[in-house]
Structure 1
Amino acid sequence: MTGEELVAFAKSKLGVPYVYGMKGEVMTLAKYNQLKALYGALVWNSDKNKVGKVCCDCSGLISWATGIVRNSQGYHDTALEIHPISTISKAPIGAAVWQKGHIGIYIGNGEYIAEDGSAYGCRKNKLSKASFTHWLILKDIDYTVKEEVDDEMVEQAKLIIDGREFIVDRILKDGTNYIKIRDIADVLGYEVTSKGSIAVLTKQ
């Protein structure tokens, strides 16, 4: 899942009620009683009114999206990068915003989406109104940036030849895929030289 896909997922869940310990499933009375017994005051008495609804908590929103369950501390501890929230302008779309005990998803423009507690549910809010201390590059999310050149899109692609995998640059232009000659030469074990508009491949 890409950062953009994570943000799109979070936007599709705006308004989903918050219940501590829920991960994006329908809450039953038995589940409510179980969570209340496990977590006590973290599960509000009024959360009982949410029985029959799909509910989620803050870390559950990301886990729901990726299918990989972690709690907010788990996302922090497995993050590939951890940065102070003061540098959020450098964060990619879909980075996590984090403070001890809480996590959300950065959607750009100084805003985030999170399951923000039993009083709010899943909402969009300004970071300036929250208390996040760090932003995280999550190991479960692909933040690869596609490089746009005019009307071309350059991205890394996997090329499999005779069962062997190679990573090459793929250029997407006008709906057609192109792979750089130099990458093909490297994969096949050739040296490439140019003579005007002619590419000459020589076995190494």
Structure 2
Amino acid sequence: MDEKDNSRSSLQTAADLGRAAKAAYRIAQAAAVSGVHGAAAAAVKETVPALVKFFLAVLLILIVIPMVVFTALPNIFFGYDSSDTASVIHMTEQAMRIGGAYMSLDDFERTQIDSIITGIAAEYEADGTAIDHIEVKNTMKEDDLLWIIAINSAAYEQDLDAMSAELIQNFCQSTLSYQPSLSLLGGSTSATLEVEIKRIDPEELMEQMGFNEDARQWAGALFETLKDSGALEKYGGYFSAYQPDYSGDGSYSGDIQHGTSYDNDIDISRFVSPSTKNNLDLAAYAVQAWENNWGYVWGTYGNILTESLFAYKKQQYPDGVGNYADFIEANWLGRRTADCIGLIKGYAWLDASTMRIGYAANGMPDYGADQMYQAAKNAGIQGTDYGTVSSMPEIPGLMLWKSGHAGVYIGGGYAIEAMGTRKGVVKTEVSGRGWQGWCKLPYIDYLEVE
């Protein structure tokens, strides 16, 4: 998709619908007295019926004009802070979660790209090609994000109950297109890894998804509305509390235990079933990471922190990594590192036959801690597959969760967690740690302890 307005000229009908929708928004806002239905009724009484019916049809289909889901938030859309109506409360909570996922897509896209590049670099290093430097060319622009939101919303016909943050982020991940290449220096084995992140082609994407002409027009209308309203900037603040946090929990001041070894090898001789993914081997993997004093670097998942990878991470995360560069260089450079959820993903993505950690392998998606816990809840039964810490069964390999952070239960009341940059992978007591829940990861098997 080039920088010209070809997409806009090819969607003139969609543009007309977008402008009509904004007009409907102004009518409804001016007449609002009791939520969406009250606004609609007031607008019908006060305006020419034929014109208003068209405007309201657009309004009701879009549900929210400024930011796709936002008109499904009557409390925000019409200026109210709260509601006692159960259906409105449910709709607002669901839309806030979806809005949070939408508003975090830019950051989510960055972390997805980061994970992919980390995996690509590790693959080359494992094959004996020393990566000197990593260069990333990300050509994606805000319009691509708007198209992702618009197309995803049209695909679900703006049904809030059918949509979820997990599905939205899966869709975003599936739209990423990238091309790695190597530039060798002279005749040496050192190289510059170049990765180009490509822009999306909305017409091609809608074709792949089987959109008919009506769906295309509504996706176009949503895109036009989002683009012209500046909703991302205007309404982003409402959803900041609902955006995922990819950081650790390094502020903990309680008792922690460090391992006594320093080894980058991963020993699968302790695994009960190296060819499968199961809870007992996850616990054994986490214990090894602790014993060998793995470090913590945001956006890593068991990779060895090379000079080139470290330089890239500093550029990618000037706050999360750059602000701790001196400490990381002195303590974690040349060692295996992971962030909190990366400790779990590294086990799931490990190929025991080659001892390489890939990317999004073996059915485990590239999720953050909150996403992973939500996926477990969606797939499981409360009390059996997830619950509060007070109800946690004695099963090694459960994931422990608190907002923005995850750990691995190893049994006997202890957990292993990649805690934070200055602490690395440590062992802690579950009691008093502030964990909010536990879950069985839906991407691995759970075996009984013999």
The interval holding the TM-score normalised by the smaller chain is 0.5 to 0.7
Q: Residue 72 of structure 1 corresponds to which residue in structure 2?
A: 369
**SS of corresponding position for 1:128:** coil
Which runs of 5 or more residues in structure 2 are unaligned?
1-276, 350-363
Question: Normalized against structure 1, the TM-score is what?
Answer: 0.65
How far residue 129 of structure 1 moved from its aligned partner, in angstroms, is 4.1
1:130 equivalent to 2:433? Answer yes
Report 1 or 2 for greater relative contact order, CA contacts < 8 Å, sequence distance ≥ 6: 1
Which stretch shows the higher mean deviation, 64-73 or 10-19?
A: 64-73
Kept in 2, the 8 Å contact 1:96–1:106? The answer is: yes
Question: Match of 2:282, as an amino acid?
Answer: L
1:34 equivalent to 2:312? Answer yes
Which runs of 5 or more residues in structure 1 are unaligned?
149-204
Q: Residue 55 of structure 1 corresponds to which residue in structure 2?
A: 337
Kept in 2, the 8 Å contact 1:17–1:118? The answer is: yes
1:20-73 Cα deviation digits (max 9, x unpaired): 111111112332232223333222222133222221111111111111343212
Kept in 2, the 8 Å contact 1:91–1:135? The answer is: no
Question: Match of 2:421, as an amino acid?
Answer: S
Structure with the largest fraction of helix = 2
1:9 equivalent to 2:306? Answer no
Q: Distance in 2 between matches of 1:32 and 1:73?
A: 26
Distance 1:57 1:120, change over 3 A: same
How far residue 119 of structure 1 moved from its aligned partner, in angstroms, is 1.9
Q: Distance in 2 between matches of 1:87 and 1:36?
A: 40
Q: Distance in 1 between matches of 2:304 and 2:296?
A: 12
Question: Match of 2:288, as an amino acid?
Answer: S
Q: Residue 416 of structure 2 corresponds to which residue in structure 1?
A: 113
Q: Distance in 2 between matches of 1:54 and 1:4?
A: 21
Identity %: 27
Kept in 1, the 8 Å contact 2:280–2:447? The answer is: no
Q: Distance in 1 between matches of 2:445 and 2:394?
A: 13
Q: Compare CA radii of gyration and give the structure with the larger one.
A: 2
Kindly report which structure 2 residues correspond to 1:1-204, keeping only aligned pairs within 5 A, or say none: 1-14=277-290, 15-43=293-321, 44-45=324-325, 46-49=327-330, 50-67=332-349, 68=364, 69-79=366-376, 80=380, 81-88=385-392, 90-145=393-448
Kept in 2, the 8 Å contact 1:97–1:105? The answer is: yes
Distance 1:129 1:42, change over 3 A: farther
Distance 1:31 1:82, change over 3 A: same
Structure with the largest fraction of strand = 1
